[in-house]
Amino acid sequence: MMEEGFQSPKKRGKIAVFLSGRGSNFMTIHDAIQEGKINAEISLVFSNKEEAPGLNIARERNLETLFLNPKLYSSREEYDKDITREVKKRDVDLICLAGYMKILTPYFCDNFKHCIMNIHPALLPSFPGLHVQKKALDWGVKYSGATVHFVTADVDMGPIIIQAVVPIFQDDTEDTLSERILKEEHKIYPEAVRLFFEGKVEVRGKRVYIRE
């Protein structure tokens, strides 16, 4: 069987950011766009949380925002169908999950194959899920880091685009480690988005090749 392939488009792209919280990764992507480092615009900042600080920041930056209340939907799939409609309406090329704390349904992931990225605060496939900085400390691993990956229905298991490694020190707490990892997140997430719209990201099976 032929191995399925994907090549990212070289174009001025449209991005939708999904977030549920403070939005620091969203800001670094938007900053990189404004500095001319990423050839794209943010067409939508979406949240499942009305009070997400990141939504307010997006409004302050004059970006279009949207909140849909999950409690008004009968199922996760119905919710994701509405989000799909909103994203498609805006002709979005890439969805950047930036602290979006709701698991996407297979319906949604299948609609946007190789068009959803996520940032995760650990070196996947180690420590998927939540509270992973604490899990890394509890395991006693000596290194952790951050991973930018494509999103598939298999949570935190999609093709890995970029990783950054940080050391873990004996006196680290969850907070100090999270802070060290976050600094790396802010470097590799905009970098992955930049490469995507420069047409340099190629996916074959589980492997991602950066064609510089």
Q: Are 31 and 193 in contact (CB under 8 A)?
A: no
Geometric angle at alpha carbon 16, from 7 and 209, rounded to 5°: 25
Residue 191 contacts ligand GRF per CB under 6 A: no
State yes or no: cis peptide before 125, omega within 30 of 0.
Answer: yes
Residue closer to ligand GRF by CB (options 12, 136) is: 136
Q: Residues 114, 120, 149, 180: which binds ligand GRF (CB under 6 A)?
A: 120
Q: Minimum distance from CB of 157 to ligand GRF (Å)?
A: 15
Cα dihedral 126→129→130→134 (10° resolution): -20
Stretch near ligand GRF under the rule CB under 6 A, chosen from 32-40, 65-73, 116-124, 204-212: 116-124
DSSP 133-171: HHHHHHHT-SEEEEEEEE--SSTT-SPEEEEEEEE--TT
- Contact between 44 and ligand GRF by CB under 6 A: the answer reads no
- Ramachandran region, residue 99 (left: φ > 0; alpha: ψ -120 to 50; beta: rest): left
**99 is an interface residue for ligand GRF by CB under 6 A:** yes
Among positions 17, 38, 95, 119, the unique one binding ligand GRF when judged by CB under 6 A: 119
The residue among 22 and 90 lying less far from ligand GRF, judged by its C-beta, is 22
Q: Is 121 in the site for ligand GRF (CB under 6 A)?
A: yes
Which of 21, 145, 158, 190 binds ligand GRF (CB under 6 A)? It is 21
Which amino acid does the sequence have at 105?
Answer: T
- Rounded to the nearest whole angstrom, what is the least distance from the CB of residue 3 to ligand GRF in the complex? 29
| Residues with catalytic roles | 120
Our CB check for ligand GRF shows the closer of 94 and 202 to be 94
130 or 211: CB nearest ligand GRF: 130
The answer to whether 77 touches 107, Cβ cutoff 8 Å, is: yes
Output the CA–CA distances (angstroms, integers) from residue 56 to 50, 67, 80, 97, 100, in the order listed.
Answer: 9, 11, 22, 17, 15
From the list 201, 206, 115, 191, the residue with the least C-alpha distance to 159 is 206
Q: What is the closest distance, in whole angstroms, from the C-beta atom of residue 185 to ligand GRF in the complex?
A: 5
Among 8, 16, 18, 23, binds ligand GRF (CB under 6 A): 23
When asked if residue 151 is in the footprint of ligand GRF (CB under 6 A), the reply is: no
Which residues sit at the interface with ligand GRF, rule CB under 6 A? 19, 21-25, 54, 98-99, 119-121, 182, 185
